Amino acid sequence: MVMGLLAKLLMTQQLKFGDGVIALKDIHMTLVPAFFIGELTKYFLDEKKLPEFYLISWLWGFVLVGQVKTKFALKTPAQVYSLGMELGEAMGIGLYKTHDYLPGRYTHFIINNNPYTRYMGDVEKKEPLDYFIAGSMAGGGCHVHDQLCQNIELKCTLRGDDVCEFITGTEKELKDRGLWEETVQRYGLEKIYPLQKKFYENYSEGNEAKLMDEILKEIL
């Protein structure tokens, strides 16, 4: 499925490599080694700033999926979700499998072959540690569910689980599942949520860089 997507994008010149640029439509991309995300995770862990890393990842996912939605003229939540997951695999962020999915409420999925955890084998942590994936999936999920979303990792191979398991959901959905308080505590949402809300309510194509600068100045 992923190879078919990449071949289609290349053949239709929606994905281009050349002149030092990788472009998906007009969205400029880069290839980032997996160990870099692993090192970032360890850095923010050591600095006790993992919530900030979650927010940065949330902003990244929100902007990227927002741009993809616009450039590919995606009209339905299913289209956004399907292309988003396929792009995640194509970008090397593991092998995705959806458990279940309900637009406007939640997406429940697992990831096999998570590329980042292999570079964090020396980290001892009882709670799941994929803040980059959780944040980016939560940010991107806002465009799938048309609401401000969070993501909570339920299982993590770093603590001995067989897969990494995640739920992206609205505040109501996570509260209904009894997961909201854990989400608030893990990601420091008392501080992070108002910044997410500000970004969500004021975002428009073209103002993302300025708005992101404002948000990051408040947190870093």
For residue 124, what pLDDT is reported?
63
4 pLDDT higher than 70: no
Query: What does the alpha-carbon distance between residue 211 and residue 89 come to, in Å, rounded to a whole number?
Result: 28
CB contact burial 169-189 (16+ within 10 A = b; e otherwise): bbbebbeeeebbeebbebbbb
User: pLDDT per residue over 90-113, tens digit each?
Assistant: 777 777 888 898 999 999 999 888
pLDDT at 26: 81
Q: What is the pLDDT of residue 6?
A: 61
Q: Check residues 156 and 177 and name the one with the higher pLDDT.
A: 177
Average pLDDT on 55-76 reads 94
User: Residue 114: pLDDT above 90?
Assistant: no
- Model pLDDT, residue 9: 65
| Total-model pTM | 0.91
- Kindly list the domain boundaries of the chain, sorted by start residue: 1-30, 32-219
CA atoms in the 13 A half-sphere facing the CB of 101: 17
pLDDT of 82-91, one tens digit each?
888 888 777 7
Q: What pLDDT is stored for residue 74 in this prediction? A: 93
Whole-number mean pLDDT of the chain?
88
20: left (phi over 0), alpha (psi -120 to 50) or beta: left
pLDDT of amino acid 200: 97
Q: Kindly tell me if the per-residue pLDDT of 186 is higher than 70.
A: yes
Question: Please, which pLDDT band fits residue 35 given cuts at 50, 70 and 90?
Answer: confident
CA 97-102-105 angle, 5° bins = 115
**Alpha carbon separation from 87 to 3, 96, 111, 149, 216 (Å, rounded):** 10, 10, 14, 20, 26
Residue 93 token pair: 């962020």
CATH node for 32-219: 3.30.1380.20
Higher pLDDT, 135 or 38: 135
Q: Is the model's pLDDT at 61 over the cut of 70?
A: yes
